[in-house]
Amino acid sequence: MEPLSAEEVRHIARLTRLGLGDDEVERMRVQLADILAYFQSLAAVDTEGVEPTGHSTEIDTVMRDDVPAASLDRQEVLENAPDQNGEFFRVPRILD
Amino acid sequence: MAAMNDLTQITAHQARALLDARQISAVDLTRAVLERAGQVEPLLNSYITLAPEEALDQAEAADAALREGLGGPFTGIPVMVKDNMSTRGVRTTAGSRMLERYVPPYDAFVVERLRGARAVIVGKGNMDEFAMGSSTENSAFGPTRNPWDTSRVPGGSSGGAAAGVAAGECLASLGSDTGGSIRQPAALCGIVGMKPTYGLVSRYGLIAFASSLDQIGPMTRDVRDCADLLTLIAGHDPRDSTSSPRAGGDYAEGIDRGVAGVRIGVPEEYLGVGLEPGVRAAFEGALDVLQDLGAEVEPTSLPLTAHALAVYYIIAPSEASANLARYDGFKYGYSDRSGPTSWEVMDDTRRGGFGAEVKRRILLGGYALSAGYYDAYYRKAQQVRTLIRGEFARAFERFDVLATPPSPTVAFRIGAKTGDPLQMYLSDVCTIPVNIAGLPGISVPCGMAGGLPVGLQVIGPQFGDATVLRVAYAWEQATEWHRLRPPL
């Protein structure tokens, strides 16, 4: 596998919205390359025809009856908001 | 029995007896614990938030219930809750600057259970940020220190919850365990810590790290308290879609049946490179005692153990990268509003709100899930996960439980591994396979090496929680290690 490039780290940081600075990109690149190299051991495991496991319970999709119930109090929820107008979360413009 | 100044060092069931006999009140007990916390917090930093007023109110309510004869095993017992479990009205930070001022508008399922039992919630336990770490050094609120040697880590990520129980800042605590975060700090602090079967305890209100691996469990001074606390918090909850209908019941029932004829497998892969001689000696001594008690102890092999760490550090960061996408600076938590558009707010908020380890794992997860790498990393890890589960299932056809060390080392020095993430990840090598397969596992004190505690891990099949507790109890009752307290 190709060694991890700074451009790849920047790309993932963009996808995950981490806003990394250049100093962080280089440090992360070195550490992540080290960790990814460690993962290479998995290539030796024969997984031909093996189903993937998402979680370890026997439970599948759980359904419930569609019954309306009380939700959290709006005022109480909005108290944690960085900015709000009493009814909605307020955010800066989303279009460039 | 215990004098006033010893109240902070007793077990919950000993306190229960004193409360029932009216020798002490829940308020006495809570005051003693708060006073102890006041003395040792400058050294240990086990709590992110102490809630003394709420605790004393809860203690008074507990005393009122006790006077009416309404007490259960945890009524009036001072408990710490790790700070990733939501407590209505008490801030819940997950050890992150991102949630420094977040006050949940609702209680986690386990907190509802504690309140319903009239337990006393003393405060919120320090932890690695979003439970990502093995030493509690990744907390945005400073590291917790080990009560046995304050130059060393308590383990992690539930380091505050472990140190607090060991040092008498609470009588029991709730931790969470994604890859060993209950069992490893329990071992390093000389207490009992259990990760129940996945699905036994509802994750409703637990701040999510890696949802297919996260599980809440008890941290206590002995196995009876552990069983009683598990009984309190286990149970089906429709608000967690992975909560098992099989959860619930009395997990203390039958713990005293002994280990005669119990088949214990010892997988050799857990005794490999990096195992300290003192840890090995304590572990082998424990196997001898279990054999003397009538257990059939036999070596075995689980070759896929070697791949568990890689599987974990692909799956857990992948799930984390999705779970932590919610911290955008809009709805709650830290927000950097200096930028002109919402995109800048998101970038700046996440850059300033998350610590280095959290960013590392989000990047790792983002990478493993991204186009071109998904099959090689994420899908491959999930396939190996299937094989690891199968390997455990085959082992449990031959054995009732498995015994291993919970950590290859005793508590290490603060700062020893912070510069090398991969070395830190290797701290969890003995505990991670258990989470991957969703099994129950417990760590109980089993000796000392160089003045520091060593644990014994007992692993059971899925829903074999009672068997795990029974083996741990038999070991504990035959030995004195659980009675040791740090000389702090």
Q: What is the mean pLDDT of residues A39-52?
A: 95
Compute the radius of gyration of chain A from its Cα atoms.
22
Give the pLDDT confidence of B60-84 residue by residue, as tens digits. Answer: 999 999 999 998 999 999 999 999 9
* The pLDDT value given to residue A95: 79
Mutate to test the interface with A, among B314, B347, B363 (most CBs of A within 10 A): B363
Q: What percent of chain A has pLDDT over 90?
A: 75
Mutate to test the interface with B, among A1, A5, A7, A12 (most CBs of B within 10 A): A12
| Structure confidence at residue A31 as a pLDDT band (50, 70, 90) | very high
* The pLDDT value given to residue B2: 39
Contact A17 B350 (CB under 8 A): yes
Contact B351 A79 (CB under 8 A): no
β-partners of residue B459 are B402, B441
* The pLDDT value given to residue B33: 98
Q: Is B86 a catalytic site residue?
A: no
Distances (CA, A) of B218 to B17, B161, B192, B309: 20, 10, 8, 24
What contacts B127, CB < 8 A, 6 or more positions away? B48, B82, B83, B84, B94, B95, B136, B139, B156, B157, B158, B159, B160, B161, B181
Distance of CA B321 to the CA centre of its chain: 22
Q: At A61, which helix (H) or strand (E)?
A: none
Contact A91 B330 (CB under 8 A): yes
Identify whether the C-beta of residue B138 lies closer than 8 Å to the C-beta of residue B357: yes
| Structure confidence at residue B4 as a pLDDT band (50, 70, 90) | very low
| Structure confidence at residue B422 as a pLDDT band (50, 70, 90) | confident
Closest-CA residue in chain B for A59? B242
Q: How far apart are CA B458 and CA B468, in angstroms?
A: 6
Closest-CA residue in chain A for B320? A16
Question: Measured between beta carbons, which residues in chain B are less than 8 angstroms from residue A45?
Answer: 304, 307, 380, 383-384, 387
Closest CA to B175 of B130, B210, B125: B125
Q: Is B331 a catalytic site residue?
A: no
The two tokens of residue B83 are 């700070």
* The pLDDT value given to residue B3: 42
* The pLDDT value given to residue B399: 98
What contacts B186, CB < 8 A, 6 or more positions away? B155, B162, B175, B192, B193, B219, B406, B443, B455
Q: How far apart are CA B62 and CA B74, in angstroms?
A: 9
Computed over every residue of chain B, the mean pLDDT equals 96
* The pLDDT value given to residue A1: 53
Q: What stretches of B73-132 show up as alpha helix (H) in DSSP?
A: 109-116
* The pLDDT value given to residue A96: 66
Distances (CA, A) of B476 to A85, B202, B407: 58, 28, 18
Mutate to test the interface with A, among B101, B367, B388, B391 (most CBs of A within 10 A): B367
Contact B321 A31 (CB under 8 A): no
pLDDT surpassing 80 at residue A66: yes
Closest CA to B63 of B29, B26, B33: B26
Please report how many Cα atoms fall inside a 13 Å half-sphere around the Cα of residue B308, on the Cβ side.
28
Closest-CA residue in chain B for A41? B307
Closest CA to B122 of B178, B165, B183: B165
Question: Measured between beta carbons, which residues in chain B are less than 8 angstroms from residue A5?
Answer: none
| Structure confidence at residue A93 as a pLDDT band (50, 70, 90) | confident
Kindly report which listed range (A63-72, B187-196, B322-331) carries the lowest average pLDDT score: A63-72
CB nearest to A18's CB, from B341, B345, B351: B351
What is the complex's ipTM, to 2 decimals?
Answer: 0.95
pLDDT surpassing 50 at residue A19: yes
Longest CA–CA span in chain B (Å) reads: 71
Q: Is B82 a catalytic site residue?
A: yes
* The pLDDT value given to residue B1: 36
Given the residues B46, B86, B134, B157, select the one marked as catalytic: B157
What sign for the dihedral angle of Cα B99, B101, B103, B108? Answer: positive
